[in-house]
Amino acid sequence: MNGSTIEHIPVLAETLAEQISLPPDGVMVDATIGQGGHSFLLGKTLGPEAVIVGFDVDNDALRRARSKLEELACRAILVNSNFSHVSEKLRESGIERVDFVLADLGVSSAQLADAEFGLSFQANMPLDMRLDKRLEHTAADIVNKEDEKSLADLIYQFGEDRASRRIARSIVRQRRIEPITTTGQLAQTVCRALGRKKPGRRSRMHPATRTFQALRIAVNNELENLKQLLASAPRLLNKDGYVAIISFHSLEDRLVKNDFKQNADAGIYRILTKKPIVPTRQQVLDNRRARSAKLRIAQKQ
Protein backbone atom coordinates (compact mmCIF):
# COMPACT_ATOMS: atom_id res chain seq x y z
CA MET A 1 0.00 0.00 0.00
CA ASN A 2 1.11 3.55 -0.70
CA GLY A 3 0.42 6.26 1.88
CA SER A 4 0.66 9.18 -0.53
CA THR A 5 -3.12 9.63 -0.76
CA ILE A 6 -3.86 9.23 2.95
CA GLU A 7 -4.74 12.41 4.79
CA HIS A 8 -3.31 12.68 8.30
CA ILE A 9 -5.78 14.28 10.75
CA PRO A 10 -3.78 16.50 13.14
CA VAL A 11 -4.26 15.47 16.78
CA LEU A 12 -5.44 18.08 19.36
CA ALA A 13 -4.71 20.90 16.88
CA GLU A 14 -7.68 23.15 17.80
CA THR A 15 -7.11 22.45 21.49
CA LEU A 16 -3.48 23.56 21.12
CA ALA A 17 -4.48 26.69 19.16
CA GLU A 18 -6.79 27.70 22.03
CA GLN A 19 -3.96 27.46 24.58
CA ILE A 20 -1.32 29.66 22.96
CA SER A 21 -1.13 33.06 21.37
CA LEU A 22 1.67 33.72 18.87
CA PRO A 23 2.86 37.19 17.84
CA PRO A 24 1.70 37.89 14.25
CA ASP A 25 5.36 38.27 13.18
CA GLY A 26 6.53 35.29 15.26
CA VAL A 27 8.84 32.43 14.39
CA MET A 28 7.44 28.96 14.92
CA VAL A 29 9.33 25.66 14.74
CA ASP A 30 7.26 22.65 13.81
CA ALA A 31 9.74 19.90 14.61
CA THR A 32 7.53 17.19 13.08
CA ILE A 33 5.77 18.97 10.26
CA GLY A 34 4.32 15.83 8.62
CA GLN A 35 1.59 16.95 6.24
CA GLY A 36 1.55 20.38 7.89
CA GLY A 37 -1.81 20.04 9.67
CA HIS A 38 -0.82 21.75 12.92
CA SER A 39 1.29 24.39 11.19
CA PHE A 40 -1.51 25.19 8.77
CA LEU A 41 -4.04 25.77 11.54
CA LEU A 42 -1.67 27.80 13.74
CA GLY A 43 -0.20 29.61 10.73
CA LYS A 44 -3.58 31.13 9.87
CA THR A 45 -3.04 33.67 12.67
CA LEU A 46 0.44 34.64 11.41
CA GLY A 47 1.22 37.59 9.15
CA PRO A 48 3.64 37.94 6.21
CA GLU A 49 6.57 38.77 8.55
CA ALA A 50 6.18 35.46 10.39
CA VAL A 51 8.11 32.28 9.63
CA ILE A 52 7.29 28.62 10.13
CA VAL A 53 10.34 26.37 10.12
CA GLY A 54 9.22 22.79 9.55
CA PHE A 55 11.40 19.75 10.13
CA ASP A 56 10.83 16.23 8.89
CA VAL A 57 13.02 13.27 7.99
CA ASP A 58 10.47 12.15 5.37
CA ASN A 59 10.75 13.96 2.03
CA ASP A 60 7.26 13.00 0.94
CA ALA A 61 5.84 14.61 4.09
CA LEU A 62 7.85 17.78 3.40
CA ARG A 63 6.51 17.92 -0.17
CA ARG A 64 2.92 17.68 1.08
CA ALA A 65 3.53 20.24 3.84
CA ARG A 66 5.06 22.64 1.31
CA SER A 67 1.99 22.63 -0.91
CA LYS A 68 -0.35 23.07 2.07
CA LEU A 69 1.60 25.94 3.67
CA GLU A 70 1.74 27.84 0.36
CA GLU A 71 -1.79 29.03 1.12
CA LEU A 72 -0.61 30.90 4.25
CA ALA A 73 0.52 34.52 4.39
CA CYS A 74 3.68 33.70 6.34
CA ARG A 75 6.94 32.28 5.01
CA ALA A 76 7.74 28.57 5.36
CA ILE A 77 11.22 27.09 5.53
CA LEU A 78 11.20 23.31 5.27
CA VAL A 79 14.18 21.30 6.43
CA ASN A 80 14.84 17.65 5.71
CA SER A 81 16.56 16.90 8.99
CA ASN A 82 16.12 15.16 12.28
CA PHE A 83 14.78 17.60 14.86
CA SER A 84 17.67 16.67 17.14
CA HIS A 85 19.71 19.11 15.00
CA VAL A 86 17.18 21.93 15.46
CA SER A 87 19.58 24.57 16.83
CA GLU A 88 22.25 24.21 14.16
CA LYS A 89 19.70 24.00 11.32
CA LEU A 90 17.98 27.18 12.55
CA ARG A 91 21.34 28.93 12.77
CA GLU A 92 22.04 27.93 9.15
CA SER A 93 18.79 29.75 8.24
CA GLY A 94 19.92 32.79 10.24
CA ILE A 95 17.44 32.16 13.08
CA GLU A 96 18.66 32.37 16.69
CA ARG A 97 15.40 32.69 18.66
CA VAL A 98 11.84 31.44 18.16
CA ASP A 99 8.40 31.96 19.72
CA PHE A 100 7.16 28.42 19.57
CA VAL A 101 8.56 24.89 19.42
CA LEU A 102 6.03 22.20 18.60
CA ALA A 103 6.53 18.45 18.26
CA ASP A 104 3.74 16.02 17.41
CA LEU A 105 5.72 12.85 17.93
CA GLY A 106 5.60 9.50 16.20
CA VAL A 107 4.41 8.65 12.74
CA SER A 108 1.64 9.88 10.47
CA SER A 109 -1.33 7.88 9.22
CA ALA A 110 0.21 8.06 5.74
CA GLN A 111 3.47 6.52 6.97
CA LEU A 112 1.64 3.78 8.86
CA ALA A 113 -0.21 2.79 5.70
CA ASP A 114 2.83 3.00 3.44
CA ALA A 115 4.62 -0.32 2.89
CA GLU A 116 7.85 1.67 2.24
CA PHE A 117 8.07 2.39 5.96
CA GLY A 118 7.22 -1.15 7.09
CA LEU A 119 5.67 0.01 10.37
CA SER A 120 2.32 -1.72 10.61
CA PHE A 121 1.15 -5.10 11.86
CA GLN A 122 -2.28 -4.42 10.34
CA ALA A 123 -0.89 -5.28 6.90
CA ASN A 124 2.00 -7.42 5.70
CA MET A 125 4.98 -5.24 4.73
CA PRO A 126 8.78 -5.51 4.61
CA LEU A 127 9.95 -5.04 8.20
CA ASP A 128 11.81 -1.72 8.01
CA MET A 129 10.51 1.03 10.39
CA ARG A 130 13.12 3.66 9.39
CA LEU A 131 11.39 7.03 9.05
CA ASP A 132 14.66 8.37 7.71
CA LYS A 133 15.99 6.17 4.93
CA ARG A 134 19.52 7.48 5.65
CA LEU A 135 19.57 5.38 8.83
CA GLU A 136 21.62 2.23 8.52
CA HIS A 137 19.72 -0.39 10.52
CA THR A 138 16.18 -1.60 9.90
CA ALA A 139 13.90 -3.39 12.34
CA ALA A 140 14.60 -6.62 10.41
CA ASP A 141 18.33 -6.16 11.12
CA ILE A 142 17.62 -5.93 14.85
CA VAL A 143 15.16 -8.82 14.93
CA ASN A 144 17.44 -11.15 12.98
CA LYS A 145 20.82 -10.19 14.44
CA GLU A 146 20.50 -9.20 18.10
CA ASP A 147 21.01 -11.94 20.69
CA GLU A 148 18.03 -13.13 22.71
CA LYS A 149 18.87 -11.17 25.87
CA SER A 150 19.39 -7.88 24.00
CA LEU A 151 16.07 -8.38 22.19
CA ALA A 152 14.27 -9.09 25.45
CA ASP A 153 15.83 -6.02 27.09
CA LEU A 154 14.87 -3.84 24.14
CA ILE A 155 11.25 -5.05 24.14
CA TYR A 156 11.07 -4.54 27.90
CA GLN A 157 12.77 -1.14 27.96
CA PHE A 158 11.13 0.48 24.92
CA GLY A 159 7.90 -1.54 24.79
CA GLU A 160 7.33 -1.97 28.54
CA ASP A 161 6.12 -5.48 27.72
CA ARG A 162 6.34 -7.84 30.69
CA ALA A 163 6.31 -10.79 28.28
CA SER A 164 9.54 -9.58 26.66
CA ARG A 165 11.54 -12.73 27.45
CA ARG A 166 8.90 -15.02 25.96
CA ILE A 167 8.66 -12.84 22.87
CA ALA A 168 12.44 -12.70 22.40
CA ARG A 169 12.67 -16.50 22.77
CA SER A 170 9.97 -16.97 20.17
CA ILE A 171 11.69 -14.55 17.75
CA VAL A 172 15.02 -16.37 18.07
CA ARG A 173 13.31 -19.76 17.56
CA GLN A 174 11.45 -18.50 14.50
CA ARG A 175 14.46 -16.88 12.84
CA ARG A 176 16.36 -20.19 13.02
CA ILE A 177 13.68 -21.59 10.70
CA GLU A 178 13.74 -18.57 8.38
CA PRO A 179 14.69 -14.88 8.71
CA ILE A 180 11.88 -12.60 9.88
CA THR A 181 11.61 -10.07 7.06
CA THR A 182 7.98 -8.90 7.15
CA THR A 183 5.71 -7.19 9.69
CA GLY A 184 3.25 -10.07 9.29
CA GLN A 185 5.87 -12.68 10.25
CA LEU A 186 6.88 -10.67 13.30
CA ALA A 187 3.28 -10.08 14.42
CA GLN A 188 2.54 -13.81 14.09
CA THR A 189 5.68 -14.71 16.03
CA VAL A 190 4.66 -12.39 18.89
CA CYS A 191 1.09 -13.73 18.89
CA ARG A 192 2.46 -17.28 19.02
CA ALA A 193 4.73 -16.37 21.95
CA LEU A 194 1.75 -14.99 23.86
CA GLY A 195 -0.55 -17.80 22.82
CA ARG A 196 -2.98 -15.31 21.25
CA LYS A 197 -4.26 -14.89 17.73
CA LYS A 198 -5.71 -11.41 18.06
CA PRO A 199 -6.49 -8.75 20.71
CA GLY A 200 -7.99 -10.31 23.82
CA ARG A 201 -11.51 -9.57 25.00
CA ARG A 202 -10.37 -7.36 27.87
CA SER A 203 -7.79 -5.42 25.84
CA ARG A 204 -8.35 -3.93 22.41
CA MET A 205 -4.60 -3.70 21.97
CA HIS A 206 -3.00 -6.03 19.42
CA PRO A 207 -0.52 -8.38 21.19
CA ALA A 208 2.33 -7.13 18.98
CA THR A 209 1.74 -3.41 19.71
CA ARG A 210 4.44 -3.10 22.36
CA THR A 211 7.04 -5.08 20.40
CA PHE A 212 6.45 -2.89 17.35
CA GLN A 213 6.68 0.24 19.49
CA ALA A 214 9.97 -0.96 20.99
CA LEU A 215 11.51 -1.67 17.60
CA ARG A 216 10.39 1.65 16.14
CA ILE A 217 11.87 3.54 19.08
CA ALA A 218 15.16 1.64 18.73
CA VAL A 219 15.43 1.96 14.94
CA ASN A 220 14.75 5.70 14.95
CA ASN A 221 16.52 6.52 18.23
CA GLU A 222 13.31 8.26 19.24
CA LEU A 223 13.92 8.88 22.93
CA GLU A 224 17.41 10.33 22.42
CA ASN A 225 16.09 12.62 19.66
CA LEU A 226 13.33 13.86 21.95
CA LYS A 227 15.83 14.49 24.78
CA GLN A 228 17.94 16.61 22.43
CA LEU A 229 14.94 18.62 21.25
CA LEU A 230 13.84 19.24 24.84
CA ALA A 231 17.38 20.27 25.79
CA SER A 232 17.54 22.76 22.88
CA ALA A 233 14.18 24.43 23.54
CA PRO A 234 15.05 26.71 26.53
CA ARG A 235 17.95 28.31 24.64
CA LEU A 236 15.88 28.80 21.48
CA LEU A 237 12.77 30.32 23.00
CA ASN A 238 12.13 34.02 23.37
CA LYS A 239 10.62 35.21 26.65
CA ASP A 240 6.94 34.10 26.71
CA GLY A 241 7.64 31.64 23.88
CA TYR A 242 5.96 28.23 24.10
CA VAL A 243 7.05 24.63 23.85
CA ALA A 244 4.30 22.08 23.18
CA ILE A 245 4.80 18.36 22.84
CA ILE A 246 2.16 15.83 21.81
CA SER A 247 3.27 12.33 22.78
CA PHE A 248 1.71 8.94 22.25
CA HIS A 249 3.22 6.66 24.86
CA SER A 250 4.31 6.86 28.46
CA LEU A 251 8.07 6.76 27.78
CA GLU A 252 7.86 9.96 25.75
CA ASP A 253 5.38 11.63 28.07
CA ARG A 254 7.59 10.92 31.08
CA LEU A 255 10.56 12.61 29.39
CA VAL A 256 8.45 15.68 28.59
CA LYS A 257 6.93 15.85 32.05
CA ASN A 258 10.33 15.59 33.79
CA ASP A 259 11.98 18.09 31.46
CA PHE A 260 9.22 20.68 31.97
CA LYS A 261 9.35 20.16 35.73
CA GLN A 262 13.14 20.58 35.89
CA ASN A 263 12.94 23.78 33.84
CA ALA A 264 10.05 25.06 35.94
CA ASP A 265 12.01 24.35 39.15
CA ALA A 266 14.93 26.29 37.67
CA GLY A 267 12.65 29.27 36.95
CA ILE A 268 13.00 28.84 33.16
CA TYR A 269 9.50 27.56 32.27
CA ARG A 270 6.00 28.13 33.54
CA ILE A 271 4.01 24.92 33.03
CA LEU A 272 0.64 25.64 31.39
CA THR A 273 -0.66 22.07 31.64
CA LYS A 274 -0.44 20.82 35.24
CA LYS A 275 -1.95 17.59 33.89
CA PRO A 276 -1.48 16.68 30.23
CA ILE A 277 -4.36 17.59 27.92
CA VAL A 278 -5.95 14.46 26.46
CA PRO A 279 -8.50 14.26 23.65
CA THR A 280 -12.22 14.28 24.34
CA ARG A 281 -14.34 11.23 23.57
CA GLN A 282 -15.58 12.97 20.44
CA GLN A 283 -12.01 13.74 19.29
CA VAL A 284 -11.13 10.04 19.67
CA LEU A 285 -14.26 9.02 17.77
CA ASP A 286 -13.30 11.45 14.99
CA ASN A 287 -9.67 10.33 14.93
CA ARG A 288 -8.72 6.99 16.49
CA ARG A 289 -5.03 7.86 16.31
CA ALA A 290 -5.71 10.51 18.98
CA ARG A 291 -6.70 7.95 21.62
CA SER A 292 -3.33 7.81 23.41
CA ALA A 293 -2.28 11.43 22.79
CA LYS A 294 -1.05 13.66 25.62
CA LEU A 295 -0.35 17.34 25.11
CA ARG A 296 1.93 19.25 27.48
CA ILE A 297 2.69 22.97 27.09
CA ALA A 298 5.21 25.19 28.87
CA GLN A 299 6.04 28.87 28.48
CA LYS A 300 9.49 30.44 28.81
CA GLN A 301 9.66 32.91 31.70
Least distance between ligand SAM and beta carbon 263 (Å)? 21
Please, what is the minimum distance in Å from the beta carbon of residue 33 to ligand SAM? 6
- Out of 26, 37, 43, 118, which residue is the one contacting ligand SAM (CB under 6 A)? 37
Minimum distance from residue 19 beta carbon to ligand SAM (Å): 16
Residue 53 interacts with ligand SAM (CB under 6 A): yes or no: no
List of residues 6+ apart from 168 with CB closer than 8 A: 148, 149, 151, 152, 155
Q: How far is the CB of 227 from ligand SAM (least distance, A)?
A: 11
Select the span of 49-57, 88-96, 135-143, 257-265 touching ligand SAM (CB under 6 A): 49-57
61 versus 140: smaller Cβ distance to ligand SAM: 61
Q: Which of 57, 90, 101, 255 binds ligand SAM (CB under 6 A)?
A: 57
Alpha-carbon torsion (260, 265, 270, 271), positive or negative: positive
d(CA 18, CA 45): 12
Task: With contacts defined by CB under 6 A, name the span among 34-42, 70-78, 141-149, 183-191 that binds ligand SAM.
Answer: 34-42
Find the shortest distance in angstroms from Cβ 162 to ligand SAM. 27
Residue 249 binds to ligand SAM (criterion: CB under 6 A): no
Q: Contact with ligand SAM (CB under 6 A): which of 27, 35, 127, 185?
A: 35
For residue 252, state whether it binds ligand SAM (rule: CB under 6 A): no
Residues 6+ apart with CB under 8 A from 41: 10, 13, 14, 17
Question: 108 or 232: whose CB is closer to ligand SAM?
Answer: 108
Residues 212-231 that bind ligand SAM (CB under 6 A): 225
Does 61 contact ligand SAM by CB under 6 A?
Answer: yes
Nearest distance in Å: CB 192, ligand SAM: 31
- Count of alpha carbons within 13 Å of 204, Cβ hemisphere only? 3
* Cβ contacts of 59-68, under 8 Å, gap ≥ 24: 60/3, 60/4, 60/110, 61/33, 61/34, 61/35, 61/108, 61/110, 61/111, 62/33, 64/35, 64/36, 64/110, 65/33, 65/34, 65/35, 65/36, 65/39, 66/36, 68/35, 68/36, 68/37, 68/40
> Does residue 106 belong to the site contacting ligand SAM (CB under 6 A)?
yes
Q: Which residues pair with 76 in a beta bridge?
A: 52
Considering the complex, what minimum distance in angstroms separates the CB of residue 130 from ligand SAM?
A: 10
Name the residues that contact ligand SAM, by CB under 6 A.
Answer: 8, 10, 32, 34-38, 55-58, 61, 82-83, 104, 106-108, 131, 225
